[in-house]
Structure 1
Amino acid sequence: MEQQNILLKIQSMGNQFTKKERQLADYCLSHQDEIIYMSITDLALACGVGEASVTRFCRKLGAQGYQDFKVQVSISQARVGAILEAHADDRTGVEHRPEPEAAAGQTDWAQKVFLAHRKALHETMLLVDEKTLLSIVQMFEQADRIHFFGVSDSLLMAREAHSRFARVMPKVVCVEDPHLQAIAATMMTERDVMFIFSYSGASKDAVQVARLAHEAGAKVAAVTHYTKSPLTAYADAILLTGMREAPLERGSMAAKTAQLYLIDLLYQRFYERNREECQKNSERAIETVVRETY
């Protein structure tokens, strides 16, 4: 059975909503393109309600939660777009046929992907705050141990950051299992730094470990897209990544490119300030790798 269009469902349930739910319904219907890029905190602030009200609203519509609600909105928009396109073909008398592969052109696709990555990099560059970047570098310098954390796709970024910094300093670790991350967070002290990746800032596992680390007295630095989210409430420093990512585009390579740019930017800044130590450690790392190469 085909899932009901959630946007039409919002319209049809108008008389069943409370006052706060009506505010959410009106906003969602008039800002359909924007809400799929908004965090739960953003939507709550825009409508003047609490995050709990947003969650209840989503569940009343049959969604499992806010993220599921955004996915259903994206699917509903895609279906409406397909119907409108089909009707347009009917009105013009033009038979709708899939474009042949040759007509699509490999060069066009290559340019489209390139432009998406370039846009992600440019937006992220404009969002970089030098003071924040420097404060994170100083956290790294003063820390006894630096923990790189992430969940799911964000774990890939944590691995990349760990791999990059492990070549120039011995005090970095990357814990991959969410349960072990939580345990490690509770063991942290004021001499530890947690550097965590979460595009949405709303992953329950990410928020939990950030909260545990914050309560343990550790410094928390985050890479995320949203300035206000459950995660940023526990962050001492935030690096923002560009590239808006819709629910159906989660894990996009362009968004990862933007995060990789921030990792390299932070690395270069750290290396510049600690050149002698970094160069010595880097040479030792290279010698080790060379000895393992045939």
Structure 2
Amino acid sequence: MEAWCKKNGAMYTYIATEKDNEASVKLFTEKLGYSKFRTPAILVQPVYASYKKAKSGVKIVELPVDKAEALYRDIFRDREFFPSDVDAIIKSKLHRGTWIAVWKDEVKHVKGEKKQVVSITDSDSSDEEESPIALSSSWAVLSIWKCHEIFKLQVKGAPLHTRLAVTAARLLGKLLRKLGTIPTPPNVFKPFGLELLYGLHCHGDRGGELVSELCWFAHNLAKKEGCAVLATEMGSCDPMRSWVPHWQSLSCDEDLWCIKHLCPSSTPEEGKDWCSSASPSSLFVDPRDF
């Protein structure tokens, strides 16, 4: 694998394992010359039996492909593992879409001002042309990857009492559905689909709340597709982590990425050695690697 990476011009190679898998960690770090690199977390949120109602003060709009690409390149261009072919990801059939959320009372329509602007279709505007919405206050963005079109998951071998508890919780959730979004676990004992949230980013004092709203928006889309869970992978110190809805019992904090410099005698083009660089607050996870 390393020979193939070198042949194709790669400066680094990395391998993912689990922190408590001592045999794998020793193999990579002691025998193969890898360094411990990052410890991301996989956050998992079940799709409930009922839809989650959105806050009335939030506006969520889907970005066109070219605008989504431009925004991601602007935000993540200097981030580790940001793919240079992000356009191929966004144009893929597995990419469901990219959405941006703003507070309605903070949206400003501007013309000719040098601010961070993304041109999107504003359904509340009488103008049929695209109207620029200035992202000058709080906003958030995320994308969805349709993993359920590639593979299905299924939990097997669960004890009888666990299966009975899940069944009872699902029945209770259906009975109380009219009271709102009840945290009802999905039926994971038959094949189910998953959608991946990636490219999460927020800005501004109220950006975290918008991340939550986007995640619940994605939850409702996943329900329409018949998926049972949503998942995302984030940095261990990512400040957005507390705003992403998830069940801790289903999530995993045990991931470990190990990295190796394939050409230690050469200087990286960006002027820094990833093997010794400080951990960033957030990651861009390539959905094709999930």
Same topology, TM > 0.5 = no
Q: TM-score, normalised by structure 1?
A: 0.24
Which protein has the larger Cα radius of gyration, Structure 1 or Structure 2? 1
Larger RCO, structure (CA 8 Å, separation 6 or more): 2
Structure number with higher helix proportion: 1
